[in-house]
Structure 1
């Protein structure tokens, strides 16, 4: 028996997103704890006046490497997922990713030293790369146009839930003495991977992948199950099936499914847009706030458990502020959501940089609260409050815009024959820049201090201009209709409709779906 409710299917599939979220907060909540710093210590060990041990932990460049190793594995996993998805199917490729996640979590939990920890994180990253690339493809190929943004965006919501849940699990475990304080949360990471594997066993395969394999009866059965409530004669099901069949017939005559096709003249524009959607989502500066929020708040003078609790508030905001995007992103459209999000983020990044420059100074050697990368300190309480507030507002802007849309948008841009590989390629750039930033940020805090925030503010301004000029609106169109933005009706040549002239087709599609 297979589940046909679209929201249930999406809720199970996006557990793949929670894997990434679990990884983020299992590091951000742990890297400042005494147990972690002393177990993986590469510096001096000292004792305070009360006899408490204080360890420097890994060097800033090494900590950057530990954090970035997951993203490095994800980049490779995302690229491999294109071939895996085309071969095994969308659903089975995600199941493979869930098994790999459990293996990586075992290695991390048992890590005896930094190299073993890095290896486990690379394996986990390989899994996250597969799931993050193929879950949006799987859901987008099942969803109708008016709900596609909402259900694909659930991937980001699952990430935010994973971040928040794992942060509080790690926070609770920080009261445990010794290495168990970080080994236990790393072991608990396996739970969503196990649930994902079991849940996928009762979900249908993507109807568009089935069509590509000439499994037409199964394709029609899935469309009837998900969109027709079992009614084979549903007008919407028949219309969707005919569109898929027409596109599949054309693509079979023009099939060339290597990665090189993504760089052909009729494909390069959408490839460029998909890649930069993922690149910009990382260059917003969200990595600073997610992985290294404890460093930022340590600069404001927060310490100990107050530091962890204050840091956790942003994870709650991340969950809550993603909800409006899930409810209304199909009505808002992709372009306005990205443009307004970019504008909000650049304001708060510049505000943080300005506050740190005006009221900050270099921290004593060793950093604030024993964190070497937190090598800047804020001198006034009002500036500290302002930085914390702007950080929360920045996260809210990301959560309602680039967070969900960066997963929704690339999965909509490409034709069926290359969709798996295309989303694999675009997602690999997400992880490539995630890797670079994860490695770069700790030493950047040490060497460039507040200027790092200005850098991200400038990047947010550039991405705002880029979206306005080059990112077309895809909301409300079927995946087959999106082709019309980029090609003529026969799919022969590139048209290049100016991005700012494209419009949201939500209400037109809602009228058509209402007839099903």
Structure 2
């Protein structure tokens, strides 16, 4: 039972792609202010990401989700009622904390609650909700685009409160993570949850024994999961732990540095420069991108436990590289073209290919893989560090995209992202072992972190 929590980070990011058009008209905000407002949520999310590991280890995974929901309720309401740039930034700050919390706790909870046989599928569910959130945000942008500017962008943000209501209802039926319960010595409760979430009672018994062994090893080792000092002591003294943490940080770096959030946030601007001139058509194409992303993640969900994480990551990064090269070449060869339907069509096809190949592998699998390989005693804090890296890179990408293409041209920007995607392919091919079908407790042996 994976949480629907990560739909909210998606709506916070994707709504800006359409709202920025009307905010600029209504409030007169500049390109620089739009750039900062769009990217600042990723920097603010560092606060949530760095607190989430501590919170989830002490209060539990479930209560952390409840806390996250509160941020997601307050942030959009502030933005909806904002009368100027300062209030908008305050709303982005509150939402940003929620984004950081969500990106840490959702993959941890999904990985810890799921049996090994379906962990890839269930751990991919947060990503399907991200893509569903993106799609619904694009739909709401399109639906409200015919309204006056001062109403359009406010209703776009107000619509983001709706998923929060559904999440609040969903949390009531969610059990606590059995691994967190075992860490706290609440073995009877952990066993009850495992009985509900395992394929058989025998499997539940086996999972409980494996969890107990890891908890015992952690409590007798470098400080367990409750002490931050223990975490850093293990990083300093154990090569396997350093390898795991480096892998998590590298995956999160490459996922965002390849430019996905530039396309999610600035898709209408990119296509406008490729020759699409109608605002209505631009927002309609955004809906197409959202549908393509959501559909592609279904492929990842179907294949994650059949073919494994590594093949999906390789196919994804290879496809991303190719589509970014095509998109860059469109701008390099036809930079001066205006109202050329063929050029615009190729650009649209390249963007669709990019978001599809991202969502079929790198989008969900970076989170699935990262949450799988972290040892239980380090999972909360390690996931927080990985999410911090993800948000820093997303912030850098989104806060510099307009300036970047202004400095090196739109073609140069996409060629740069293609180079990063190619480097991520090499990293995955040379450094990442397959984790499909392994229990979370087996990762200790795979990466030799004991």
Work out which of the residue numbers 279, 285, 288 in structure 2 matches 1:313.
288
Work out which of the residue numbers 229, 242, 250 in structure 2 matches 1:276.
250
Is 1:452 aligned to 2:427, yes or no? no
Work out which of the residue numbers 373, 391, 397 in structure 2 matches 1:431.
391
| Residue equivalent to 2:45 | 74
| Contact 2:222 2:233 (8 Å CA) reproduced | no
| Residue equivalent to 1:4 | none
- The whole-number CA distance in structure 2 between the counterparts of 1:356 and 1:178 is 30
Task: Evaluate the alpha carbon distance shift between residue 388 and residue 378 of structure 1 in structure 2; reply closer, same or farther with a 3 A threshold.
Answer: farther
| Residue equivalent to 1:46 | none
The Cα of 1:37 is off from its aligned counterpart by: 1.6
- The whole-number CA distance in structure 1 between the counterparts of 2:149 and 2:319 is 42
Q: Helix, strand or coil: the match of 2:41?
A: helix
Q: Helix, strand or coil: the match of 1:87?
A: helix
Is 1:99 aligned to 2:70, yes or no? yes
- The whole-number CA distance in structure 1 between the counterparts of 2:324 and 2:199 is 47
1:25-64 CA-partner distances (Å, limit 9, x unpaired): 211112223xx222221xxxxxxxxxxxxxxxx3322211
- The whole-number CA distance in structure 2 between the counterparts of 1:306 and 1:194 is 31
The Cα of 1:22 is off from its aligned counterpart by: 0.9
- The whole-number CA distance in structure 2 between the counterparts of 1:262 and 1:195 is 40
Work out which of the residue numbers 230, 237, 240 in structure 2 matches 1:266.
240
For residues 273-312 of structure 1, the aligned pairs below 5 Å read 273-302=247-276, 303-312=278-287
Is 1:85 aligned to 2:56, yes or no? yes
| Contact 2:115 2:199 (8 Å CA) reproduced | no
For residues 158-177 of structure 1, the aligned pairs below 5 Å read 158-177=129-148
Work out which of the residue numbers 14, 17, 22 in structure 1 matches 2:11.
22
Q: CA RMSD in A?
A: 1.5
| Residue equivalent to 2:185 | 214
Work out which of the residue numbers 281, 305, 320 in structure 2 matches 1:345.
320
Q: Helix, strand or coil: the match of 1:481?
A: helix
1:62-113 CA-partner distances (Å, limit 9, x unpaired): 2110001111121221111010001100111011000111111111111111
| Contact 1:255 1:417 (8 Å CA) reproduced | no
Work out which of the residue numbers 290, 304, 307 in structure 2 matches 1:332.
307
- The whole-number CA distance in structure 2 between the counterparts of 1:475 and 1:378 is 48
Runs of 4+ in 1 over 3 A off after TM superposition: 377-381
| Residue equivalent to 1:391 | 351
TM-score by length of 2: 0.95
The Cα of 1:378 is off from its aligned counterpart by: 5.1
Task: Point out the structure with the larger helix share.
Answer: 2
- The whole-number CA distance in structure 1 between the counterparts of 2:77 and 2:51 is 22
Aligned residues: 441
1:98-135 CA-partner distances (Å, limit 9, x unpaired): 01111111111111111210111111010011011111
The Cα of 1:147 is off from its aligned counterpart by: 0.8
Gaps of 5+ in 2: none
Gaps of 5+ in 1: 1-8, 42-57, 362-376, 492-516
- The whole-number CA distance in structure 1 between the counterparts of 2:340 and 2:166 is 47
- The whole-number CA distance in structure 1 between the counterparts of 2:433 and 2:52 is 26
- The whole-number CA distance in structure 1 between the counterparts of 2:86 and 2:140 is 25
- The whole-number CA distance in structure 2 between the counterparts of 1:203 and 1:100 is 19
- The whole-number CA distance in structure 2 between the counterparts of 1:378 and 1:419 is 51
1:192-240 CA-partner distances (Å, limit 9, x unpaired): 12221221122110000000000111111111122267xxxx2111111
Q: Helix, strand or coil: the match of 2:402?
A: helix
Q: Helix, strand or coil: the match of 1:480?
A: helix
Q: Helix, strand or coil: the match of 1:475?
A: coil
The Cα of 1:262 is off from its aligned counterpart by: 5.9
The Cα of 1:261 is off from its aligned counterpart by: 4.1
| Contact 2:141 2:283 (8 Å CA) reproduced | no
| Contact 1:297 1:311 (8 Å CA) reproduced | no
1:392-449 CA-partner distances (Å, limit 9, x unpaired): 1111111101011021111001111111111111011111111111101122232322
Comparing 209-218 and 252-261, the one that deviates more: 252-261
- The whole-number CA distance in structure 1 between the counterparts of 2:419 and 2:338 is 23
| Residue equivalent to 1:119 | 90
Work out which of the residue numbers 351, 354, 359 in structure 1 matches 2:329.
354
Is 1:408 aligned to 2:408, yes or no? no
Work out which of the residue numbers 24, 32, 52 in structure 2 matches 1:37.
24
Is 1:240 aligned to 2:201, yes or no? no
1:136-171 CA-partner distances (Å, limit 9, x unpaired): 101111111121111111111101101111211122
| Residue equivalent to 1:481 | 442
The Cα of 1:277 is off from its aligned counterpart by: 1.1
Larger Rg: 1
Task: Evaluate the alpha carbon distance shift between residue 345 and residue 228 of structure 1 in structure 2; reply closer, same or farther with a 3 A threshold.
Answer: closer
Task: Evaluate the alpha carbon distance shift between residue 204 and residue 136 of structure 1 in structure 2; reply closer, same or farther with a 3 A threshold.
Answer: same
- The whole-number CA distance in structure 2 between the counterparts of 1:424 and 1:390 is 33
